A and B are shown apart, each in its own frame.
Chain A
Amino acid sequence: MKTKDFVQKIQHNITVNPERSAELVELTTSIIARILGDGDALAIKGFGTFEVKKKEERVSVNPVTGNRWMIPPKLVPSFKPGTTLKEKIKTYSGHEQ
Chain B
Amino acid sequence: MNNKLLFQDLTDQLSESGKLKKKDTEEFLKAFFKVIEDSLFEGETVKIQGLGTFKLLKVESRKSVNVSTGEEFEIKEHYKISFSPDNTLKEIVNEPFSYLEPVELDGSSAKKEPVVRNIREEKDRFDEMIINAEEKEEEMEKKPDKPKGTPHNMMPQNTDDLRTPNKERKNETQQPTNGSQKKSEKSGGSKNSGSFFRVFLILIVLALAAWAILSNYSAKKENDHKLKEFAVIDADTSFEDTPSEDFETVIQDSLKLEAEIAAKVESLAIAEKNGGGKNLASKPSAIAKPTPVAATKENEAIKPKMTTQGSTGSDRVTFPVFVKLKQGEMLTVLSLKYYGHKAFWVYIYAANMDVIKDPDHIPLGTRIRIPKPDTSIINANDPDCVAKAKALQTKILSRKE
Contacts and interface: CB of A to CB of B under 8 A. Distances in A.
A75 B83 CA distance: 15
A1 B47 contact: yes
A39 B90 CA distance: 12
Interface residues of B, number: 67
B42 interface: yes
Interface string A53-97: 000000110000011111111111111010001001110101111
Contacts of B43: 94-97
A14 B13 contact: no
Interface residues of A, number: 67
Given A10-B31, A78-B83, A30 B50 contact: yes
Contacts of A46: 33
B35 A13 contact: yes
B232 interface: no
A6 B14 contact: no
Contact of B103 (A27, A41, A47, A69): A69
Interface in B2-30: 2-7, 9-10, 13-14, 17-18, 20, 24, 27-29
Contacts of A90: 78
21 contacts: A6-B46, A13-B31, A17-B24, A28-B28, A31-B17, A33-B92, A35-B10, A40-B2, A40-B3, A42-B4, A66-B106, A67-B105, A70-B103, A72-B97, A73-B100, A75-B97, A78-B85, A79-B83, A85-B37, A89-B56, A89-B78
Interface of A: 1-3, 6, 9-10, 13-17, 20-21, 23-49, 52, 59-60, 66-79, 81, 85, 88-90, 92, 94-97
